[in-house]
Structure 1
């Protein structure tokens, strides 16, 4: 990163109507953001390989790795750290830490299947919230594609058995809902700061690691990782709980936010496929049905991009 890039971080937030997006650049940014979805698909596998490491401890470890991953480039920017708007700091740290904090609270206070399903409303909320952005317009096929993706995720999470919500788990359900709102709001509001360099995610990750470490000391007992657990924690930091956030930051700032929201439903599908391939889960009809629903939803939501690609061709 050079001095010009650093000065760009001081620029005021830019809204979507300030400049018409270049279709080729937007498509490339969307593809980069979709790379985060591919990395998130490995989250379940790597997490199972970490054994009994408590969630906040594991979060602190993974985000420390993720922050260190981008720190050299971020430091090379010189004055960038001081030039980043306060709102970008609140959004970045609040989004990364807030999502994980409320997700873990949800898991402590509600069954994992129920909490996970409610938390995974965030891709649908991204599509809905995108209508609030200047210059963006929510079409029926965007919403329909996101709903199909949600249906596929429902089948994956429940195994086709359905969900029975119970009153005693209301605090957990509420935390899961907040979790979904936090991540979707972060992803959409990130559009306000296109001039803040993606390298700054390194500092957001490190701040999240510190906050997670504090929560770990307050609420958990430390477990010393053994053998392959260190490698699994490292893989989390390089991939789904670290490196993926750099890709997502670029994608949400410069790509098609509605399409990214729908494509996010591929994460649980690919995650399940990876668990099946490694012998940690069994293939079943809900997986096949989810594949049809999520793929169909993604194709429906990407109608704009497909038509634009055909025009360019």
Structure 2
């Protein structure tokens, strides 16, 4: 049975919803199995989910550049992302770090402009400033936005904020680079497998962590694995046969959806200021997208 465009697009919507639960679910898993051990378990189980849905990877067909750069960027990003969430001081900070991660749409567009040698327009600059300002608004916490408040918040856990920020940059490179060098191949199963191996390697050097194995913790682990692996599998189907323009636009609302899910999953009440920052990041990303679309339309007309 062939997959129609509407069905594929629906799968894409589901994948965005699954992605939006990852911050809350991964943080929950890390609280039960440790930051590194929990992440390793999530990606190991996620690899199994992907293998069932997508099959074994045909590595011999992949371009060598894609194998090297694709795996390096993907694995580095995933490890930065999950460790930032797992090592956060508390659940509130984990949600903040999730927002740092969601700078990647703006970074991806800015990088695409650079790679495509497009002009850096005023509208694009406004979008980037809006997104970054929204992030600063979020990081300032419950205090009025100020340089001191932001610095003090970052100083409370500088490693996690650095990991989340580097992760956003890495994913923007992954999104731009792999499209150019993949040759139409999808290495998601291989990348997940290598990520889980990398995390288990880190686990060997960590102090032994006691796993809190209960029905609730195992259920959350399974849900996190399905969300992580399933989102990637469904998204792959969606971008091949679905309405990519619609899904791309919808994905810019992920920060809002993710924050809502995270607040529920982590039982954390968020302030009005936090939500204002989330909306600024989202509007900034959409503004960046509109800026690039306007440039493409003008280029097409000319």
Equivalent position to 1:226, from 196, 214, 220: 214
Deviation at 1:182, TM superposition (A): 1.8
Unaligned residue ranges in structure 2 (runs of 5+):
144-148, 298-302
How many residues in Structure 1 have an aligned counterpart in Structure 2?
Answer: 275
1:69, 1:238 within 8 Å by CA — same for their partners in 2? yes
1:194, 1:253 within 8 Å by CA — same for their partners in 2? no
Deviation at 1:156, TM superposition (A): 3.5
Deviation at 1:270, TM superposition (A): 2.1
Asked if 1:87 corresponds to 2:65, the answer is yes
Distance 2:178 2:283 in 1: 27
- Residue by residue, what CA displacement relative to the aligned partner does 1:9-40 show, whole Å, maximum 9, x if unpaired? xxxxxxxxxxxxxxxx9xx9999767654323
Q: 1:301 to 1:154 in 2, by over 3 A?
A: same
Please report the TM-score for the alignment, with normalisation by the length of structure 1.
0.68
Asked if 1:280 corresponds to 2:262, the answer is no
Distance 2:156 2:25 in 1: 31
Please report the TM-score for the alignment, with normalisation by the length of structure 2.
0.70
What RMSD over aligned residues (CA atoms) do the two structures have, in Å? 4.2
Q: 1:103 to 1:48 in 2, by over 3 A?
A: closer
1:59 aligned residue: 39
Deviation at 1:296, TM superposition (A): 3.3
Instruction: Decide which structure has greater helix share.
Output: 2
Q: 1:253 to 1:212 in 2, by over 3 A?
A: farther
Q: Counterparts of 1:51-200 in structure 2 under 5 Å?
A: 51-72=31-52, 74-75=54-55, 80-103=58-81, 113=93, 116=97, 119-134=101-116, 139-161=121-143, 162-164=149-151, 175-193=163-181, 195-198=183-186, 200=187
Unaligned residue ranges in structure 1 (runs of 5+):
1-24, 309-313
1:201 aligned residue: 188
1:66, 1:202 within 8 Å by CA — same for their partners in 2? no
